[in-house]
Structure 1
Amino acid sequence: MKMGSLSTILRHPDEIYPLLKLKNAITKAQNQIPLDPHLAFCYSLLQKVSKSFSLVIHQLGPELRNAVCVFYLILRALDTVEDDTSIPMEIKVPVLIDFHRHIFDRDWHFSCGTKDYKVLMEQFRYVSAAFLELEKGYQDAIEDITKRMGAGMAKFICNEVETVDDYDEYCHYAAGLVGLGLSKLFLASDLEILTPDWKQISNSTGLFLQKTNIIRDYLEDINEIPKSRMFWPREIWGKYVDKLEDFKNEENSRKAVQCLNEMATNALIHVEDSLKFISSLRDSAIFRSCAIPQIVAIGTLALCYNNVQVFRGVVRLRRGLIAKVYDRTKTMDDVYGAFYDFSCMLKVKVDKNDPHAIKILNRLETIKKVCRENGVFHKRKYYVNYETQSKTIFMGMLVLLLAILFFASFIKQTNVM
Structure 2
Amino acid sequence: MAFLDWVLHPTELWAGFWYVMRHAPPDEKTNKLQVSGEMKRCYDFLEMTSRSFAAVIQELNPKLRDGICLFYLVLRGLDTIEDDMTIPGAKKRHLLESFHEIIYQKGWTFKESGPDEKDAILLVEFEVVIAEFLRLPTEYQEVIADITRRMGAGMAKYTRSRVVTMDDYDEYCHYVAGLVGHGLSRLFAVSGLEDKSVGENLELANSMGLFLQKTNITRDINEDVLDGRCFWPKAVWSKYAENEEEIISKRNRDNGLCALNEMCVNALSYIPHVMDYLSQIKEPSVFRFCAIPQVMAIATIVLCFNNANVLDDNVKIRKGEALKLISQATTMDNVKRVFYWYLVALEKKNHPGSHMYEEVRKITDKAKKDIASTLKGGAPVDFTFEYLLIGLFLVTAFFFFYSYSQSTQQQQL
Same fold (TM over 0.5): yes
- Report the counterpart of residue 316 of structure 1 in structure 2: 316
- 1:2-401 correspondence runs (5 A): 4-27=1-24, 30-33=27-30, 34-110=34-110, 111-112=112-113, 114=116, 116-195=118-197, 198-224=201-227, 228-377=228-377, 390-399=386-395
Give distance in 2, aligned partners of 1:115 and 1:164: 30
Tell me the CA shift for residue 108 of structure 1.
Answer: 1.1
How far has the Cα of 1:159 moved from its partner?
A: 0.3
Secondary structure, in 3 states, of the residue corresponding to 1:157?
Answer: coil
Instruction: Give the drift of 1:63.
Output: 3.0
Which is bigger in relative contact order (C-alpha 8 A, separation at least 6)? 1
Q: Tell me how far apart the structure 2 counterparts of residues 405 and 109 of structure 1 sit (CA, whole Å).
A: 64
Q: For the residues of structure 2 that align with 1:8 and 1:356, how far apart are their CA atoms?
A: 30
Report the residue type matching 1:286 in the other structure.
Answer: V
User: Is contact 1:149–1:177 with CA below 8 Å preserved after alignment?
Assistant: yes
CA distance in 2, matches of 1:243, 1:194: 46
Q: CA deviation at 1:355?
A: 3.5
Q: Give the Å deviation of 1:106.
A: 2.1
Per-residue CA deviations over 1:311-351 (Å, capped at 9, x if unaligned) read 11121110111111111222110111111111111111113
Contact 1:336 1:371 in 2 (8 A): yes
Q: In structure 2, what is the Cα distance between the partners aligned to 1:307 and 1:194?
A: 41
Shift of 1:116: 4.2
Cα offsets for 1:52-109 (capped at 9, x unmatched): 1111112211230111111011111111111111111011000000000111112111
What runs of 5+ residues in structure 1 fail to find an aligned partner? 409-417
Match of 1:415 in 2: none
Residue segments in structure 2 that go unaligned for 5+ positions in a row: 405-413
User: Counterpart of 1:27 in 2: which secondary structure?
Assistant: coil
Alpha-carbon distance between aligned partners in 1 of 2:387 and 2:290, rounded to the nearest angstrom: 33
CA 1:25–1:74 in 2, change beyond 3 Å: closer, same or farther? farther
Give how far 1:377 is off: 4.7
Deviations 1:99-137 (A, max 9, x none): 001111121112325454010111111111111111111
- CA shift at 1:399, angstroms? 4.8
Q: Tell me if structure 1 keeps the 8 A contact 2:100–2:145.
A: yes
In 1, are the aligned partners of 2:147 and 2:179 still within 8 Å (CA)?
yes
RMSD: 2.2
If the length of structure 1 is used for normalisation, what is the TM-score? 0.90
* CA positional deviation for 1:23: 2.3
Structure 1 position 401, deviation (Å): 6.9
Change (3 A) 1:30 1:217: farther
Work out the CA distance in 2 between the residues paired with 1:242 and 1:14.
45
Instruction: Return the letter of the residue paired with 2:355.
Output: P
Q: Following the alignment from structure 1 to structure 2, what is the Cα–Cα distance between the partners of residues 51 and 379?
A: 34
Matched-pair identity in %:
36
Query: Is the CA contact (8 Å cut-off) linking 1:195 and 1:280 kept in structure 2?
Result: no
Q: For residue 414 of structure 1, what is the aligned residue in structure 2?
A: none
Q: TM-score, normalised by structure 2?
A: 0.91
Distance 1:405 1:287, change over 3 A: farther
- Distance in 1 (CA, whole Å) between partners of 2:138 and 2:213 is 29
* 1:152 match: secondary structure: helix
Name the SS of the counterpart of 1:32 in structure 2.
Answer: helix
Query: Which residue identity is paired with 1:191?
Result: L
Cα distance in 2 between the residues matched to 1:65 and 1:381: 38
Give the number of aligned pairs: 398
Whether the 8 Å contact between 1:216 and 1:315 is mirrored in structure 2 is: yes
Is the contact between residue 237 and residue 247 of structure 2 (CA under 8 Å) also seen in structure 1? no
1:41 Cα offset (Å):
1.3
Partners of 1:380 and 1:135 lie apart in 2 by 45
Q: Which amino acid aligns with 1:133?
A: R
- C-alpha contact (below 8 Å) 2:13/2:320 kept by paired residues: yes
Distance 2:22 2:127 in 1: 29
Distance across 1 between alignment mates of 2:259 and 2:148:
32
Displacement of 1:210 after TM fit? Answer: 0.2
Offset from partner CA, 1:351-387 (integer Å, 9 cap, x none): 32233211121011111112111112569798xx86x
Q: Structure 1: which amino acid aligns with 2:45?
A: L
Distance 2:398 2:350 in 1: 41
* 1:13 alignment partner AA: P
Aligned residue for 2:240, secondary structure, equals: coil
How far apart, in 2, do the equivalents of 1:391 and 1:203 lie? 38
* 8 Å CA contact retained: 1:300, 1:317: yes
Paired amino acid for 1:35: V
Q: CA offsets, 1:221-267, max 9 Å, x none?
A: 1122xxx2321100111111110111221111100010000011111
Give yes or no for contact 1:177–1:206 (8 Å, CA) kept in 2. yes
Change (3 A) 1:122 1:393: same
Distance verdict in 2 for CA 1:311–1:373, change over 3 Å: same
